[in-house]
Amino acid sequence: MPNTKQAIKRMKITAKRTARNRRVKSMVKTAIRRFRDALEQGNLEEAGMKLAHAVKLLDKAVSKGVLHKNAAARKKSRLALRYNKAVAAQATVAQAANE
């Protein structure tokens, strides 16, 4: 237990920040999971919207100091790569069907 007033205050502040960080990280993880689910279902239109939402939440997490900017950039890059691969695969299938 903290012994001084300052230590008590810091403990309260740390608890608030920890709760906020946990909430933000959970929202980011949920957005990424929903994007991946939409991709697995093959719904690229919905996946595009979910990707935009996930990127928005990642950027907010960086601005709040919850995630490091490079970590968020890496996650965004990997999500975009998955989306682009799915779009390219669907375009290839559509092109093969037209021939």
Segment 32-82, tens digit of pLDDT: 999 999 999 989 999 999 999 999 999 999 999 999 999 999 999 999 999
Which domains does the chain carry? Answer: 5-98 (1.20.58.110)
- DSSP code per residue over the chain: ---SHHHHHHHHHHHHHHHHHHHHHHHHHHHHHHHHHHHHHT-HHHHHHHHHHHHHHHHHHHHHTSS-HHHHHHHHHHHHHHHHHHHHHHHHHHHHHH-
**What pLDDT does 97 receive?**
77
